[in-house]
Amino acid sequence: MRTEQPKVIHLKDYQVPDYLIDETHLTFELYEDRTLVHAQLVMRRNPEAGAGLPPLQLHGQDLELMSLSLNDRALGLGDYQVAEESLTLQPDTASFTLDSTVVIHPESNTALEGLYKSGKMFCTQCEAEGFRKITYYLDRPDVMSTFTTTVSADKQAYPILLSNGNPIASGEEEDGRHWATWEDPFKKPAYLFALVAGDLWCVEDSFTTMSGRDVALRIYVEPENIDKCQHAMDSLKKSMKWDEEAYGREYDLDIFMIVAVNDFNMGAMENKGLNIFNSSAVLARAETATDAAHQRVEAIVAHEYFHNWSGNRVTCRDWFQLSLKEGFTVFRDSQFSADMNSPTVKRVEDVSYLRTHQFAEDAGPMAHSVRPESFIEISNFYTLTVYEKGAEVVRMIQTLLGEEGFRKGSDLYFERHDGQAVTVDDFVKAMEDANGADLTQFKRWYSQAGTPRLAVSERYDAAAKTYSLTFRQSCPPTPGQSEKLPFVIPVSLGLLDGQGREIPLRLQDEDAAVGTTRVLAVEQAEQTFTFVEVPEQPLPSLLRGFSAPVKLEFPYSRDQLMFLMQHDSDGFNRWEAGQQLSVQVLQEMIGQHQRGEALQLDQRLVTALRSLLEDERLDPAMVAEMLSLPSEAYLTEISEVADVDAIHAARDFARQGIATALFDLFWKRYQANREVSRQTPYVAEASHFARRALQNIALSYLMLSGKSEVVAACVEQFDQADNMTERLTALAVLVNSNFETERQQALDAFAEHFKDNPLVMDQWFSVQAGNTQPGGLERVQHLMQHPAFTLKNPNKVRALIGAFANQNLVNFHRADGAGYRFLADQVIVLNKLNPQIASRLLAPLTRWRKYDAARQGLMKAELERILAAGELSSDVYEVVSKSLA
Ligand code: ARG
Ligand code: ZN
């Protein structure tokens, strides 16, 4: 807990460390009521830091120091100073060995940072600054050391003892205890340290690397989960192979381990050779995890594995460079997922997510650049901007340099910086050097926050057969950045003729046409490109594949959007045209609702969706994506002032209208797909995901009809399905329906059947938290009393409270402010228990500027109440104070 005024840390103040740590030797003695940590650090003066021997200041937090010695000489009280977050002493030689012993209390660590207990097992989470809660250290990523780690514990309770690297020794002690020693030969920063002790079972496999080395692969879980590891293991092997093929990256240790823990603040952590995962990101089998969960497991296993190179072998110099590893690694895992599944579906999902959530962050009080300039609490900067927008920035580099040029750049980056802690500039420099490119202006994507707008206008000259596109870019002000300079915006585009055919693209000053899709780099505030030999007025297909994270504005008519939906050769843009059509139609209805008029659904949307459903040759996954109307959260993001009730009413009315008009088609496709599902055993593979996606979205529309044969089909699917994807959708649509008896029966049966599976119970909580019918808050408050709920488990908090505040917008934003008050109450409690979770949970309140004056007042009042509650963690303090500034 913060007792002093929080310090702001600035990128511009970065200085190299005064001292380095070459070797770290740790011994942990784990007991039920305390843990002893002995650290021996082999240190020396950093030659790059200048002359003389300045005082050595080590980081440390919540440590009880038992003994300290320098070069084997015990230090007394006068020899060092201990403060709340540091220990300072004066070395007398340039090279020295420092030994310390501290006592820590993992058994009462509810923040889940440092060493803590999850259920009966010990585990660690050190990124970003958790290692300082384990021992006194230079806890910064540019201090890299080899580690040996010995763990001792009671053998019966903790038969498995793990740390980074390779196991080198183990043994028994007389008192029922045992020990194991691990050695990690690769230098690493302390944030990549990991330790696990517990009664774990493992699934074992192996992988032969491209140079022919055998690597043992192990996934450790609690015994009851041993049957849910195969999908993660398959994903791991695919990831290892893919990284060799796509990036030439080979694994480097003899063993790679994943451990699943139930209590974890994030998705997973890439500790060297010993990844620690939220169990929700490892465990998956048909009966208990949805298709989406299977894909999430595959993506996160890949993400953490890819960090072995983009993060571990080449790491960050300081935490302002976080996107160096996270943006790049998200980009890598998105390429992998696209290769393993459907590239267009993956792109649609990523873009929807970015535009709904990252754009909202970019427009809010916590907006920051991909490389932030300052922070109070680094944990608050593991954001959509650093991760998802960071990945888009890397993607734009690839778009500008081409796939081959990008690969040359990444090869040079890994070769040049292996074993180093580097910056975003080093990454971009490698890309430049490998390609002879100049990315100076492009780098503004790393330093300027906010989502650029790109307004496009066209002019066709029939006589000259020229077609000009004029691009005007601007970027709204964000905190601390009122003026923005032009970005380099890669715009991938094509031109369609009246028959929907692609027109060859030849720019003025070119000798011949160059393809039918090309990338224009818009670099100026206003810039015009003219195409020649354009035989007729074309329809532009702009920003294909979403080639830049901007808000594109082009005055498409609804008929033009319908034309693009049918004819665009770019699959992403066909979806995008459908989204824009839906947005236009929904915005019109939102206006009608606000004026008190009767809602009218533009039948062109129905016509467009009908032709999708009729065409059985289309990819069912894309049809399902196109049938999904823009979410309420996205409609909120694109509103000037979001009218929660109008958005909800308009979207509901449109869904009802579509359901009625297309009932027969939905019913036909539903029954056909459900029949295949009945006949085919579950497979976690793209074509099966696609079939179930269409089947399930059809069911959700069909249930709006209230027809008894549909309800019967839904109950049948709920009862008989052999997989969670079908069962959970059936449950969700029943929960959101008026069929009281069926709903209650399904909820009870589900809870009874899955009461011992916490991850499945999370889904049960989420489905109910998302029920948009009146009374949502009371239902959530009631569910908090359920024996399976606890505020101490982050997954539970996210599943119930997080889902309510982020997905059930009509209930969360109810006009009397009770939803806001409820959320603030939970934040105040969690601030003491788990600051990282508290700070994340409060994000919806920070978006107050989006709402009407009355709601703004109520939301701000709750932020002020949190601030006044006092004893705020730096995590919560930073977000609340910046939101009120
Ligand atoms: N590096 C981890 C990843 O794979 C996330 C660590 C999150 N740590 C935190 N303090 N928020 O993305
Ligand atoms: Zn990561």
Distance CA(497)–CA(317), nearest Å, equals 51
Q: Count other C-beta atoms under 10 Å from residue 243's C-beta.
A: 22
| Catalytically annotated residue among 298, 304, 502, 637 | 304
Q: CB of 326 closer than 6 A to ligand 1?
A: yes
CB 340 within 8 A of CB 388: no
Distance CA(378)–CA(368), nearest Å, equals 12
Percent of the chain with pLDDT over 90: 99
Ligand 2 centroid to 421 CA: how many Å? Answer: 16
Atom of ligand 1 at shortest range from CA of 128: 10
For the residues 646-660, what does the mean pLDDT come to? 98
Question: What rounded mean pLDDT belongs to the chain?
Answer: 98
Query: pLDDT for 114-136, tens place per residue?
Result: 999 999 999 999 999 999 999 99
Q: Tokens representing 733?
A: 């649509």
CB 473 within 8 A of CB 522: yes
Residue in 133, 269, 875 to alter for ligand 1 test, most ligand atoms within 8 A of Cβ: 269
For the residues 580-587, what does the mean pLDDT come to? 98
pLDDT at residue 6, rounded to an integer: 86
Closest CA to 864 of 821, 831, 803, 830: 821
Ligand 2 centroid to 328 CA: how many Å? Answer: 9
CB 67 within 8 A of CB 100: yes
Residue nearest to atom 5 of ligand 1 (CA): 269
For the residues 711-721, what does the mean pLDDT come to? 98
Distance CA(441)–CA(397), nearest Å, equals 12
Q: How many residues are there in the chain?
A: 885
Q: What is the DSSP letter of 509?
A: T
Atom of ligand 1 at shortest range from CA of 129: 10
Q: With 70 as the cut, is the pLDDT of residue 224 above it?
A: yes
470 three-class SS? strand
Ligand 2 centroid to 336 CA: how many Å? Answer: 14
Q: Tokens representing 564?
A: 């693009």
Rg value, the chain, Cα:
28
Cα–Cα distance list, 836 to 36, 264, 380 (Å): 26, 11, 8
- CA angle in degrees (0–180, nearest 5) for 387-145-208: 70
The runs of H, that is alpha helices, within 555-643 are 558-567, 571-594, 603-614, 620-627, 632-637
Q: With 70 as the cut, is the pLDDT of residue 341 above it?
A: yes
Q: Tokens representing 681?
A: 């055993």
Distance CA(124)–CA(107), nearest Å, equals 12
Helix, strand, coil % over all residues of the chain, rounded to 5: 45, 20, 35
20 three-class SS? strand
CB 278 within 8 A of CB 268: yes
Is the torsion defined by CA of 358, 362, 368, 371 positive or negative?
A: positive
- Phi and psi at 350, nearest 5°, equal -65, -40
Residue nearest to atom 1 of ligand 1 (CA): 269
Type of residue numbered 427: F
- Name the maximum alpha-carbon separation found in the chain: 96
Peptide bond before 128: cis, by omega within 30 degrees of 0? Answer: yes
Beta-strand relationship, 489-496 and 421-422: unpaired
For the residues 726-748, what does the mean pLDDT come to? 98
The secondary structure of 22-67 as a DSSP string is EEEEEEEEE-SS-EEEEEEEEEEE-GGG-SS-PPEEEE-SS-EEEE
Q: CB of 333 closer than 6 A to ligand 1?
A: no
Ligand 1 centroid to 191 CA: how many Å? Answer: 10
For the residues 434-451, what does the mean pLDDT come to? 98
Residue in 382, 839, 875, 879 to alter for ligand 1 test, most ligand atoms within 8 A of Cβ: 382
Atom of ligand 1 at shortest range from CA of 325: 1
Angle between helices 322-340 and 230-247 (to 10 degrees): 110
CB 376 within 8 A of CB 9: yes
Distance CA(844)–CA(859), nearest Å, equals 9
pLDDT at residue 4, rounded to an integer: 54
Distance CA(376)–CA(8), nearest Å, equals 5
Distance CA(747)–CA(734), nearest Å, equals 9
- Phi and psi at 275, nearest 5°, equal -70, 135
Q: With 90 as the cut, is the pLDDT of residue 870 above it?
A: no
Q: Tokens representing 12?
A: 């511009």
Distance CA(316)–CA(372), nearest Å, equals 14
Beta-strand relationship, 551-553 and 453-461: parallel
- CA angle in degrees (0–180, nearest 5) for 551-555-557: 125
Distance CA(166)–CA(182), nearest Å, equals 5
For the residues 309-338, what does the mean pLDDT come to? 99
Ligand nearest to the CA of 333: 2
Cα–Cα distance list, 758 to 283, 366, 445 (Å): 11, 33, 41
Residue nearest to atom 2 of ligand 1 (CA): 269
Distance CA(234)–CA(257), nearest Å, equals 14
Ligand nearest to the CA of 325: 2
Residues pairing with 162 in the sheet:
196
Q: CB of 602 closer than 6 A to ligand 1?
A: no
Distance CA(480)–CA(476), nearest Å, equals 12
Residue 248 CB contacts under 8 Å (≥ 6 apart), including other chains: 411
Residue 857 CB contacts under 8 Å (≥ 6 apart), including other chains: none
Q: Tokens representing 578?
A: 């459908």
Residues pairing with 255 in the sheet:
216
Percent of the chain with pLDDT over 70: 99
Q: With 90 as the cut, is the pLDDT of residue 578 above it?
A: yes
CB 192 within 8 A of CB 325: no
Q: CB of 113 closer than 6 A to ligand 1?
A: no
Confidence of residue 288 (pLDDT cuts 50, 70, 90): very high
Cα–Cα distance list, 809 to 591, 659, 735 (Å): 19, 22, 17
Query: pLDDT for 240-263, tens place per residue?
Result: 999 999 999 999 999 999 999 999
Q: CB of 837 closer than 6 A to ligand 1?
A: no
Burial class (CB in 10 A: 0-12, 13-18, 19+), 261: buried
Q: HEC string of 250-302?
A: CCCCCEEEEEEECCCCCCEECCCCEEEEEHHHCCCCCCCCCHHHHHHHHHHHH
Ligand 2 centroid to 320 CA: how many Å? Answer: 14
467 three-class SS? strand
Residue nearest to atom 3 of ligand 1 (CA): 269
Atom of ligand 1 at shortest range from CA of 130: 10
Residue in 266, 296, 307, 841 to alter for ligand 1 test, most ligand atoms within 8 A of Cβ: 266
Sheet holding 80-83, edge to edge: 56-59, 86-89, 80-83
Sheet holding 166-172, edge to edge: 73-74, 64-70, 95-104, 35-45, 19-30, 145-154, 177-188, 166-172
Q: Tokens representing 715?
A: 């109950």
For the residues 753-759, what does the mean pLDDT come to? 98
Burial class (CB in 10 A: 0-12, 13-18, 19+), 409: buried
Distance CA(843)–CA(838), nearest Å, equals 9
pLDDT at residue 155, rounded to an integer: 98
Residue nearest to atom 4 of ligand 1 (CA): 269
Active site residue 304: yes
CB 575 within 8 A of CB 348: yes
Query: pLDDT for 179-194, tens place per residue?
Result: 999 999 999 999 999 9
Q: Tokens representing 57?
A: 């200041």
Confidence of residue 95 (pLDDT cuts 50, 70, 90): very high
State in Å, rounded, how far the first CA of the chain is from the last one: 22
Ligand 2 centroid to 329 CA: how many Å? Answer: 6
Residues pairing with 278 in the sheet:
261
Type of residue numbered 774: P
Q: CB of 266 closer than 6 A to ligand 1?
A: yes
For the whole prediction, is pTM greater than 0.95?
Answer: yes
Neighbours of ion ligand 2 (CB under 5 A): 326, 329
Given the structure tokens 């890994």, which residue do they identify? 414
Distance CA(370)–CA(391), nearest Å, equals 10
Distance CA(352)–CA(634), nearest Å, equals 8
